[in-house]
């Protein structure tokens, strides 16, 4: 099992603080239900304070680049617009500061944050699997991590993070991480979300392809961008086609994808009313569902439309700049960076019908892409280095369990070790 091994020179609080600081931001539905909204939000505030303290200790390692700058502008702009339109919200503040802090912390100490996340996943995924066994007996569709759509937003990035950790730490896929990743996919298929099943199936296919071939990043991003255009801009032509009828029939959904297309129409109206800066986070979207009843939701159910709704063109441009500055630097000759790109592709596909851009796993995956990428910077000219590839900045290191006689030479966080026994 996973455990944290401590060096005698450091306290237990320093070893476990990041573990407990990140947990309230992973959107575990059952924990929030048990604690209540007020106590859970206090935990998030405490988590932000812990992460800020850790970042202060590691600030000398912080790397300020185009990704960090662009993401910070994106997050701050949405927070300001939200305050202007709906007033100050402590919840929005803590989530915004938490997201920016964890992005910076990943740039300073990516290996440590990845180890902690792997430990959290190793704890939460089996709990969710047990809850699904109990829910099947009780005929319930609410699980430990949330509903069926929440499962795909959590478990698919979690499975990819497990594989990334295994490659980064040991240079190969190990049985323990592979078993946990398989459990993630089983839970997604078992949950029954049509979008989750399609995304999980696509991720498995891409995993096989990416491990044997080097994907072309512009080609994959272009195909995914085309899918977003078809769903949002050319939706009328797409929805009237026979292909669409067959596709939604395969997913066992109606023509509106459980009213998502109707929600997208309302989101576009909001966007046209305030195209430059959007309407902020938490906007209520009223629509008429397939049964003729009026419902209200608070998310766009689409990755791109959610950004446009919350921050308009300005936020979208800032996010796109930071996103491309990270993704386009991934080097496809490195297996770990290929798996990172696989994770990004999977969450973008899942984002076709889910607003997963604010999920912390998605935020952290893009941050890991920027931290581990060692290719040419965005907008930089390609240069050959005597026919040799650039040496990797983050090469997998062999597992060396920390003992009482081992010194943590680089950082106070290096006493964290989630290696499997």
Could you report the per-residue pLDDT of 127-183, keeping only the tens digit for each? Answer: 999 988 887 665 556 788 888 888 888 999 999 999 999 999 898 889 999 999 999
pTM of structure = 0.83
pLDDT at 199: 80
Domain contains 41 = yes
Domain contains 94 = yes
Domain contains 302 = yes
Domain contains 126 = yes
Domain contains 53 = yes
pLDDT class of 378 with cuts at 50, 70, 90: low
Domain contains 323 = yes
The partner residues of 385 in beta bridges, in order of sequence, read 388
pLDDT at 291: 74
Contact 356, 305 (CB under 8 A): no
360 CB-side CA count, 13 A: 22
Among residues 296, 334, 309, which one has the least CA distance to residue 217?
334
pLDDT class of 344 with cuts at 50, 70, 90: very high
Distance CA(150)–CA(142), nearest Å, equals: 10
pLDDT tens digit sequence for 296-307: 888 888 999 999
Domain contains 189 = yes
Domain contains 382 = no
Q: How many domains does the chain have?
A: 1
Task: Provide the 10 A C-beta neighbour count for residue 33.
Answer: 12
Domain enclosing residue 252, as ranges:
12-377
Mean residue pLDDT across the chain: 81
First to last CA, the chain: 6
């Amino acid at each position: 099992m996973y455990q944290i091994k401590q060096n005698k020179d450091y306290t237990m609080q320093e070893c476990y603080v990041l573990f407990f600081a990140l947990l309230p931001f992973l959107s575990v539905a059952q924990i929030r239900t048990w604690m209540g909204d007020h106590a859970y939000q206090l935990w998030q505030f405490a988590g932000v304070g812990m992460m800020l303290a850790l970042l202060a200790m590691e600030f000398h390692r912080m790397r300020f680049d185009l990704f960090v700058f662009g993401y910070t502008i994106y997050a701050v702009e949405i927070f300001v617009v939200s305050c202007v339109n709906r007033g100050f919200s402590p919840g929005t503040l803590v989530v915004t500061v938490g997201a920016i802090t964890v992005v910076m912390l990943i740039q300073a100490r990516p290996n440590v944050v990845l180890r902690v996340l792997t430990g959290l996943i190793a704890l939460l995924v089996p709990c969710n699997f047990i809850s699904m066994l109990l829910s099947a007996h009780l005929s319930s569709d609410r699980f430990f991590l949330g509903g069926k759509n929440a499962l795909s937003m959590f478990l698919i990035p979690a499975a990819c993070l497990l594989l990334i950790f295994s490659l980064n730490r040991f240079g190969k896929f190990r049985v323990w991480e592979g078993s946990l990743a398989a459990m993630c996919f089983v839970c997604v298929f078992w949950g029954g979300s049509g979008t989750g099943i399609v995304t999980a199936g696509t991720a498995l296919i891409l995993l096989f392809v990416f491990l044997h071939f080097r994907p072309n990043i512009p080609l994959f991003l272009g195909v995914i961008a085309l899918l977003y255009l078809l769903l949002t801009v050319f939706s009328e032509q797409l929805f009237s086609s026979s292909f669409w009828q067959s596709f939604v029939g395969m997913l066992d959904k109606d023509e509106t994808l459980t009213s998502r297309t109707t929600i997208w129409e309302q989101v576009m109206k909001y966007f046209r009313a305030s195209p430059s800066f959007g309407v902020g986070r938490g906007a209520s979207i009223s629509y008429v569902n397939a049964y003729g009843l009026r419902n209200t939701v608070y998310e766009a159910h689409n990755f791109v439309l959610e950004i446009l709704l919350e921050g308009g063109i300005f936020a979208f441009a800032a996010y796109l700049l930071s996103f491309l500055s990270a993704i386009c630097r991934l080097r496809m000759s490195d297996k770990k960076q290929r798996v990172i790109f696989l994770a990004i592709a999977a969450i973008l596909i899942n984002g076709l019908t889910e607003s997963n851009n604010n999920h912390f796993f998605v935020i952290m995956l893009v941050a890991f892409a920027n931290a581990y990428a060692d290719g040419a910077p965005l907008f930089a000219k390609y240069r050959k280095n005597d026919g040799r590839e650039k040496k990797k900045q983050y090469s997998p290191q062999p597992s060396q369990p920390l003992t009482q006689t081992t010194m943590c030479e680089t950082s106070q966080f290096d006493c964290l070790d989630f290696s499997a026994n």
